[in-house]
Structure 1
């Protein structure tokens, strides 16, 4: 039997140092700028331990001294905060009509942002457009691809690890091809992470919107497609098979009427309540100028009784889906997003229906986040993952030795 000198006991001090350094880094990230005294109070560590740990994470370039706190009794205290250039995150949103993206530093500050209309005729062309968008964003941010710590793409669909492909990709034609993920990895490298787009929007809501300081909420997006992001105990939940939140497959086929082909491809609820279903119902009913759900809602607001009936049917359908979520999960908050979910007056119509349907009525709000919601969620997810990678550097022998 081979015996390593020192054995497990020799590794224990190094492990303790790494844990202390991770604890301090987390406090600096969430509370900075902070002084050594404040870090000792927040962490419960002794001042000498804080000084030693702080020296390591400052030496590897994750934090830096940013000034001094004055105006209080005693010597001026040096303040520490995250070094913005410790890494960068690229967030991309893949839509059927638009591609959106942004680059942020490790403090979350956006260095570049861009939205372009896609001209791609197939999935591979869309991959190339994403790569081109990323290149432009990096140039605008003044950084190189090698400086990226994490890349996150917000995409319709669910990752299937058994087949290593995306499934349930909705209206994004060809995006479920087995060739898509290898092509994305070829363009973006090992830092790539793919997140469901509605889940990413829910993350944005948790960080920037109504979901702040809320332990459990459901973000329900109703628009071109339908989906839900579910946050429980402060964490985004994907479920055992990654389909938590795929409410487009709820077996609702009433209301506007379901298109059988759409129901098979995208789910009964999507086929009955998405923007396309609203338009289809309005045209059947003879609503003039019903070229989009937005115009149907506008007609209802102008007093068109037929359009108003269609909007009321839509509110009932969405309320039934939300009632299902309430009965199963009982979240503190429901946030409505998407073009229909955020339409003027729609929130009130849904709440009126919920008062009659739901066993309890949680707080229901319309999202105030805009078209970059998915990108913001990708940045948030990327920052969390990027910090995991950067913290791992602290524990490496080259930095702790």
Structure 2
């Protein structure tokens, strides 16, 4: 991050102050409680500049004194940290079977977390369920809706600005209706932000998971739906049209579970390798009681040779997609997520196939973040957006 000191005479003073305040806030967020002297050392700003900027953001209620550092030579230094109550973020995950959500304060501490099975028969019913879940989360967190700084909904699909709708929404029937976004805005207000659910999962992996130590990785989610979140040079990439990572549309349609109708609606690879495709392949092959992909994998683990062949076919298809990602992007890391991506033994089966297919073998790992990955990513995105909003209110650049 560029630090602008007082000697930059060509820059406007208000802009300089705003940048300096943002620099301080960023260091306080990431470094925890720090003293004014430490902030001067970390940022390269003069002590008078630090004292002035810190005073502004403290009066704005974004930071506060958290204590004193003792046990070192000299006077005890006052430590400054984020004031958690300065803002709150609501994160919601719209799934095919479950709705999940959480509320976090500005320091990133989760104040409430809930998960409910959806019963909605249509898109408007799902919108109402989200509003009901949000109300419960706010009550549990002990805050009012007016205290929210940012709301982020993780949803399948890609935003189409020309039509102001979501497209490519997978198995969420009616979620691409032109009425959905206005209904969401009506209930959640102007602070609403929509993030693709798999992209949100990739953000969570970047902040909390295997992606913390690398600059480039792909989060490949295989489950009820199929998608990918791509992080390059430390940043989430959406592409020119927002469809970067929509791997469900890769022209792979070779699995025995492939379905022509699914291919038209959700893409060839989704029709061949999603959870529904695994079930179809297992039933066609004669696997008994193959009502879910989880049961097919369980049967394979028990030694059912037919189920094991279905799982091996699934691993090969996913390995081909991983190989495609490797040859196009060459990331340092591939993270598998989703119900199938995290299934016992599946990671090893995919790695064995990639080792044969790909020109190089990057690290390939299964996510360890569990079912709240999308919510965690939405919280991360919401906190970044909330900070930007709050900072702009202190010293808006002109």
- TM > 0.5: yes
Q: How does 1:252-267 map to 2 (within 5 A)?
A: 252-267=252-267
How many Å separate the matches in 1 of 2:339 and 2:32?
A: 37
How many Å separate the matches in 2 of 1:159 and 1:18?
A: 31
Aligned to 2:314: 314
Aligned to 2:51: 51
What SS does the corresponding residue of 1:66 show, helix, strand or coil?
strand
Aligned to 2:304: 304
Cα deviations by residue, 1:324-374 (Å, 9 ceiling, x for unpaired): 000000000000000000001000000000011001100000001111111
C-alpha deviation, 1:256, in angstroms: 2.4
C-alpha deviation, 1:64, in angstroms: 0.4
2:82–2:107 CA contact under 8 A, matched in 1: yes
How many Å separate the matches in 2 of 1:67 and 1:268?
A: 58
Q: How does 1:309-388 map to 2 (within 5 A)?
A: 309-388=309-388
What SS does the corresponding residue of 2:140 show, helix, strand or coil?
helix
TM-score for the superposition, normalised by structure 1? 0.96
C-alpha deviation, 1:257, in angstroms: 4.2
Farther-moved stretch of structure 1 (287-296 vs 255-264): 255-264
Q: How does 1:281-300 map to 2 (within 5 A)?
A: 281-300=281-300
1:225–1:274 CA contact under 8 A, matched in 2: yes
Aligned length: 390
1:315–1:353 CA contact under 8 A, matched in 2: yes
How many Å separate the matches in 2 of 1:241 and 1:260?
A: 26
Cα deviations by residue, 1:262-319 (Å, 9 ceiling, x for unpaired): 0000000000000101100101111111011111111111111111100000000000
Aligned to 1:217: 217
How many Å separate the matches in 2 of 1:26 and 1:309?
A: 51
Q: How does 1:2-401 map to 2 (within 5 A)?
A: 12-396=12-396
Distance 1:50 1:178, change over 3 A: same
Q: Which runs of 5 or more residues in structure 2 are unaligned? A: 1-8
How many Å separate the matches in 2 of 1:396 and 1:41?
A: 26
How many Å separate the matches in 1 of 2:379 and 2:20?
A: 27
1:216–1:232 CA contact under 8 A, matched in 2: yes
TM-score for the superposition, normalised by structure 2? 0.96
Kindly report the root-mean-square deviation, in angstroms, between the aligned alpha carbons of the 2 structures.
1.3
1:256–1:314 CA contact under 8 A, matched in 2: no
Q: Which runs of 5 or more residues in structure 1 are unaligned? A: 1-8
How many Å separate the matches in 2 of 1:145 and 1:129?
A: 16
How many Å separate the matches in 1 of 2:360 and 2:52?
A: 52
C-alpha deviation, 1:39, in angstroms: 0.2
How many Å separate the matches in 2 of 1:257 and 1:54?
A: 60
C-alpha deviation, 1:258, in angstroms: 1.7
How many Å separate the matches in 1 of 2:107 and 2:232?
A: 25
1:256–1:273 CA contact under 8 A, matched in 2: no
How many Å separate the matches in 2 of 1:250 and 1:10?
A: 51
